């Protein structure tokens, strides 16, 4: 995502801030009440918090739509190079607060609501999280969309509209149980269903040779077809009118019901096609690492790739007829290997449908793809069994074989007949299960390959993709993860946000996070310290109330809140943290009463979901709850030590926990966390980090400076 040459500011269109919608409190009030009556269909004189939230959401959406249309008109006229971000996961969280803050009208809405007898924060709590992702990779996608919009990029996000997002974590007797995420049950005011934006997606079938222009060409005869229907989500930038689109695809059957079966009373078979189709976009893949359930996963990947590319090519052809212009107008960013089939799909469309010759099509493909890899371990690299691909997408397998043949012939000219290396670098893995190495496919066809931190990039160059780096060093770069300060300070910690603006003397940091460095000039200001302590206290009180409401455990805000919230993984070492807590408990129990006055009271907070099939991770959750049961019910320890497992950790829970944390733990086994983003969120909220030198923490250390660190570098002898 290079310089600003493709980012054209979407200035105030037609000379007005908002063409038709005003934002003074009385106009907003009228808007909200109109939506109560005409959208929510409730009496404007009697409606509850949830109905008020629905009306408020539609009122805000109206303002998003104005800018959204202006943006689309603007870019249709400018016809810039568009960035298409292809990701199978977007962990968006709630939209209301983020939208009104980016629109710059949060306070106006809060004032308008107060006069109607409602509190903005109470209504914001009515919204469910859009949890269309598993963890850091998915939340990064959401933060990137916010930043692309704010930086005025003409960008699109493409993904899947899962009917059920990331499972709801319920703790029973200390164990994790997974419940469906019914995030759509009460409607979703933040999306627009585009019933006219649908594309056929094909699967299975055979490939035939057909006479064409005196030669032969391949024709794919599909065995099954489903419809992809677009659901659009406006993503507003901050301090700009640029409002980009997150287009999510839902799978619908091409034929809703088989009337013959129905009329013969075979009601199950009558709808079996609908079920087969809708399953494709029904459940978010429950794990952000291991790859089981391969066929469904592969169907999901191709479904969203095919629909997205049909949409992108249609948009290109609306104003261009020569595919030589395609690389000038289209950049496709592969978020991990999940969208890698896009490479074979573009080749298929260009060669089989647009009738470009192979080499011309290949030249185009190699200019439009960039690949972000988030994996540090070779065993985490995605492989697709050839037999599965041959069954589901026979034409794509042929294309991948052809790509690989040309690539290996070229490789032989460069490295000679080093068969071990040729075998390692091949896109096709021969072995017990012949497979397609999706990362190799992505690297061969992309013009850039980026890691997500400097440390990660070094691991890629020296271990994971060493062969490729030696061949194409120019392809490899890194873009260290980032998080948006709009969500992680302004939305989640408004009192800190106000304090920062006051002491910096500007709100410009909300668009440009580097301006936060200006606070260093006030680092010794005791007045700022006092205000900051008050902010932290308020946030800790909010968190303590939440803990008591969720677990019944009373915690003292005078204790240090020591937090570790992230997906449960062995490499993230929640177990090490729990063993440390057991040790701390043991030390307190064996301490003389007089010595206990030296103990800093501590509330240890752990939260996170374990993948449903990850048994060890689920046992760690049980251990945490068992240790908590023991410690929290020991009056001898009292407020000196508490342990809380926060259930169902999600984006909204993170927005509550992070501002209240005094200390946070990022103690992954070095070399395992590709980047990590929780460290950044805690840091920008003024929290101390207890961390290993891993992933992006290494760069945080450089940014903070070693004189601000306490090091415990116990090198192995
Ligand atoms: N499947 C994954 N989930 C993650 O959180 C991963 O991607 C994140 C975003 O780049 C990284 O910050 C994490 O370190 C990495 O584990 S990879």
Helix or strand or coil: residue 82? strand
- For residue 39, which phi and psi values (nearest 5 degrees)? -100, -50
C-alpha distances in angstroms, 684 versus 485, 606, 687? Answer: 8, 20, 7
692 in Cβ contact with 670 (< 8 Å): yes
Q: How far is the CA of 373 from the centre of ligand 1 (A)?
A: 9
* pLDDT over 50 at 16, yes or no: no
Which is more confidently placed, 439 or 268?
Answer: 439
State the helix-helix crossing angle for 341-348 and 438-445, rounded to 10 degrees: 60
DSSP per-residue codes, 422-479: HHHH-SEE-SSS-EEEHHHHHHHH-SEEEESSHHHHHHIIIIITHHHHHH-GGGEEE-
Q: Which residues form the pocket of ligand 1, taking CB atoms under 6 Å from any ligand atom?
A: 135-137, 140, 288-289, 374, 452, 481, 673-677, 695
Q: Which atom of ligand 1 is nearest to the CA of 452?
A: 10
229 vs 642: CA distance, rounded Å: 49
348 vs 217: CA distance, rounded Å: 11
Give catalytic residue positions: 374, 566-567, 572, 677, 681
Q: What is the mean pLDDT of residues 172-196?
A: 97
Q: How far apart are the first and last CA of the chain?
A: 43
Q: What is the mean pLDDT of residues 409-428?
A: 97
Q: Report pLDDT for 266.
A: 78
For a pocket test of ligand 1, which of 284, 374, 452 has the largest count of ligand atoms closer than 8 A to its C-beta?
Answer: 374
Which is more confidently placed, 709 or 36?
Answer: 36
Q: How confident is the model at residue 296 (pLDDT cuts 50, 70, 90)?
A: confident
593 vs 578: CA distance, rounded Å: 24
- Within 117-231, residue ranges assigned H as helices are 120-124, 136-150
CB count in 10 Å sphere of residue 118: 21
19 vs 70: CA distance, rounded Å: 10
Residue-wise pLDDT tens digits, 145-158: 999 999 999 999 99
Dig out the tokens for 377 from the structure.
Answer: 């371990």
> Which residues on adjacent β-strands are paired with residue 330?
82
Helix (H) / strand (E) element for 270: namely: helix 267-270
Q: What is the mean pLDDT of residues 363-373?
A: 98
Question: Which of these ranges, 22-26, 159-163, 305-309, 673-677, has the smallest mean pLDDT?
Answer: 22-26
Mean pLDDT, rounded, of the chain: 93
Q: How far is the CA of 660 from the centre of ligand 1 (A)?
A: 24
Helix (H) / strand (E) element for 160: namely: strand 155-160
Residue-wise pLDDT tens digits, 700-716: 999 988 888 887 766 54
397 vs 276: CA distance, rounded Å: 23
Q: How far is the CA of 562 from the centre of ligand 1 (A)?
A: 23
For a pocket test of ligand 1, which of 85, 136, 335 has the largest count of ligand atoms closer than 8 A to its C-beta?
Answer: 136
Q: How confident is the model at residue 379 (pLDDT cuts 50, 70, 90)?
A: confident
Q: Find where tokens 């939230």 sit.
A: 53
Q: How far is the CA of 676 from the centre of ligand 1 (A)?
A: 6
Q: What is the mean pLDDT of residues 603-617?
A: 96
Residue-wise pLDDT tens digits, 454-469: 999 999 999 999 999 9
Please state the separation of Cα 223 from the chain's center in Å. 33
Closest by CA position to 644, among listed 578, 717, 567, 569: 578
Q: Which atom of ligand 1 is nearest to the CA of 140?
A: 9
Question: Exposure of 1 by Cβ count < 10 A (0-12 exposed, 13-18 middle, 19+ buried)?
Answer: middle
126: which residues sit within 8 A by CB, 6+ positions away? 49, 50, 52, 53
Residue-wise pLDDT tens digits, 496-541: 999 999 999 999 999 999 999 999 999 999 999 999 999 999 999 9
Radius of gyration, alpha carbons of the chain: 27
Helix (H) / strand (E) element for 93: namely: strand 90-93
Burial 189-209 (b: 16+ CB within 10 A, else e): bbbbeeeebbbebbbebebee
* pLDDT over 60 at 668, yes or no: yes
Q: How confident is the model at residue 286 (pLDDT cuts 50, 70, 90)?
A: low
Q: How far is the CA of 710 from the centre of ligand 1 (A)?
A: 26
Q: How far is the CA of 140 from the centre of ligand 1 (A)?
A: 8
Burial 57-78 (b: 16+ CB within 10 A, else e): bbbbbebbebbbebbeebbeee
Percent of the chain scored above 90 by pLDDT?
A: 87
* pLDDT over 80 at 409, yes or no: yes
Q: How far is the CA of 154 from the centre of ligand 1 (A)?
A: 25
Q: How confident is the model at residue 12 (pLDDT cuts 50, 70, 90)?
A: very low
Closest by CA position to 340, among listed 408, 281, 399: 399
Q: What is the mean pLDDT of residues 688-697?
A: 96
495 in Cβ contact with 538 (< 8 Å): yes
What does DSSP assign to residue 610? P
* pLDDT over 60 at 11, yes or no: no
Q: Find where tokens 């999940």 sit.
A: 338
DSSP per-residue codes, 331-369: EEEEESSTTTHHHHHHHHIIIIIS---HHHHHHHHHHHE
Q: How far is the CA of 288 from the centre of ligand 1 (A)?
A: 8
- Within 6-48, residue ranges assigned H as helices are 25-38
Q: What is the mean pLDDT of residues 1-20?
A: 47
Which is more confidently placed, 170 or 260?
Answer: 170
For a pocket test of ligand 1, which of 452, 454, 480, 617 has the largest count of ligand atoms closer than 8 A to its C-beta?
Answer: 452
Q: Report pLDDT for 3.
A: 36
* pLDDT over 50 at 547, yes or no: yes
Q: How far is the CA of 162 from the centre of ligand 1 (A)?
A: 20
Residue-wise pLDDT tens digits, 88-135: 999 999 999 999 999 999 999 999 999 999 999 999 999 999 999 999
Q: Which atom of ligand 1 is nearest to the CA of 677?
A: 12
For a pocket test of ligand 1, which of 290, 672, 675, 700 has the largest count of ligand atoms closer than 8 A to its C-beta?
Answer: 675
Which is more confidently placed, 281 or 256?
Answer: 281
Q: Report pLDDT for 31.
A: 96
Say what the pTM is: 0.95
Which is more confidently placed, 286 or 341?
Answer: 341
Q: Which atom of ligand 1 is nearest to the CA of 676?
A: 12
Helix or strand or coil: residue 417? coil
Dig out the tokens for 657 from the structure.
Answer: 């926990």
Nearest-CA residue for ligand 1 atom 7 is 137
Question: Which of these ranges, 313-327, 371-385, 551-565, has the smallest mean pLDDT?
Answer: 371-385
Closest by CA position to 166, among listed 22, 285, 327: 285
- Longest pairwise C-alpha distance within the chain: 96
Q: What is the mean pLDDT of residues 340-358?
A: 97
> Which residues on adjacent β-strands are paired with residue 437?
383
Q: Which atom of ligand 1 is nearest to the CA of 567?
A: 5
497 vs 655: CA distance, rounded Å: 13
């Amino acid at each position: 995502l290079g310089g600003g040459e493709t980012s054209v500011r979407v200035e105030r269109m037609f000379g007005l801030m908002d063409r038709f919608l005003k934002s003074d409190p009385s106009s907003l009030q009228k808007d909200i009440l109109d939506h109560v009556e005409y959208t929510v269909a409730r009496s404007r004189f009697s409606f509850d918090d949830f109905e008020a939230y629905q009306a408020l959401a539609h009122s805000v959406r109206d303002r998003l739509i104005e800018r959204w249309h202006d943006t689309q008109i603007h870019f249709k006229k400018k016809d810039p190079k568009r960035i298409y971000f292809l990701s199978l996961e977007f962990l968006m969280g709630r939209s209301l607060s983020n939208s009104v803050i980016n629109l710059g009208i949060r306070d106006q809405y809060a004032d308008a609501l107060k006069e109607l007898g409602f509190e903005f924060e109470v209504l914001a709590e009515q919204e469910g999280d859009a949890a269309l992702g598993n963890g850091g990779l998915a939340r990064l996608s959401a933060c990137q969309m916010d930043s692309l919009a704010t930086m005025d990029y003409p960008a699109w996000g493409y993904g899947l509209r899962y009917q059920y997002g990331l499972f709801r974590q319920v703790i029973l007797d200390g164990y994790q149980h997974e419940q469906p995420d019914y995030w759509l049950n009460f409607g979703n005011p933040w999306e627009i269903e585009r019933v006219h934006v649908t594309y056929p997606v094909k699967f299975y079938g055979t490939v035939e040779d057909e006479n064409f222009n005196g030669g032969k060409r391949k024709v794919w005869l599909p065995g099954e077809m489903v419809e992809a229907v677009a659901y659009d989500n406006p993503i507003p930038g901050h301090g700009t009118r640029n409002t980009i689109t997150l287009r999510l695809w839902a799978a619908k059957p091409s034929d809703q019901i088989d009337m013959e079966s129905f009329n013969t009373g075979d009601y199950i078979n009558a709808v079996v096609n609908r079920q087969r189709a809708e399953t494709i976009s029904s459940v978010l893949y429950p794990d952000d690492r291991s790859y089981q359930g391969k066929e469904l996963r592969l169907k999901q990947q191709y479904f969203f790739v095919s629909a997205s590319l049909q949409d992108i090519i249609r948009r290109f052809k609306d104003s261009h007829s020569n595919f030589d212009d395609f690389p000038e107008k289209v950049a496709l960013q592969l978020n991990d290997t999940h969208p890698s089939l896009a490479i074979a799909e573009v080749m298929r469309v260009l060669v089989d449908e647009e009738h470009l010759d192979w080499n011309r099509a290949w030249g185009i493909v190699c200019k439009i793809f960039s690949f972000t890899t988030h994996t540090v371990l070779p065993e985490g690299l995605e492989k697709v069994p050839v037999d599965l691909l041959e069954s589901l997408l026979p034409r794509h397998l042929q294309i991948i074989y052809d790509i690989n043949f040309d690539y290996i012939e070229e490789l032989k000219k460069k490295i000679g007949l080093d068969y071990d290396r040729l075998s390692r670098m091949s896109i096709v893995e021969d072995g017990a299960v012949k497979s397609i190495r999706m990362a190799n496919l992505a690297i061969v066809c992309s013009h850039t390959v980026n890691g997500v931190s400097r440390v990660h990039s070094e691991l890629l160059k020296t271990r994971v993709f060493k062969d490729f780096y030696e061949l194409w060093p120019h392809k490899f770069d890194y873009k260290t993860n980032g998080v948006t300060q709009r969500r992680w300070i302004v939305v989640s910690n408004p009192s800190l946000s106000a304090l920062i603006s006051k002491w910096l003397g500007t709100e410009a940091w909300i668009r440009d996070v580097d301006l936060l460095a200006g606070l260093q000039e006030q680092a010794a200001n005791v007045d700022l310290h006092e205000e900051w302590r008050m902010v932290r206290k308020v946030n800790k009180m909010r968190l303590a109330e939440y803990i008591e409401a969720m677990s019944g455990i009373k915690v003292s805000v005078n204790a240090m809140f020591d937090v570790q919230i992230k997906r449960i993984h062995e490499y993230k070492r929640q177990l090490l943290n729990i063993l440390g807590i057991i040790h701390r408990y043991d030390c307190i129990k064996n301490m003389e009463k007089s010595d206990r006055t030296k103990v800093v009271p501590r509330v240890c907070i752990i939260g996170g979901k374990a993948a449903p099939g990850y048994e060890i991770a689920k046992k760690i959750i049980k251990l945490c709850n068992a240790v908590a049961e023991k410690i929290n019910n020991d009056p001898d320890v009292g407020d000196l030590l508490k342990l809380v497992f926060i259930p169902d950790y999600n984006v909204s829970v993170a927005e509550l926990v992070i501002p209240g944390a005094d200390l946070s733990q990022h103690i992954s086994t070095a070399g395992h966390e590709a980047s990590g983003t929780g460290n950044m969120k805690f840091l920008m909220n003024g929290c101390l980090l207890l961390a290993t030198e891993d992933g992006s923490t290494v760069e945080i250390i450089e940014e903070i400076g070693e004189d601000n660190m306490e090091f415990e570098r116990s090198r192995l002898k």
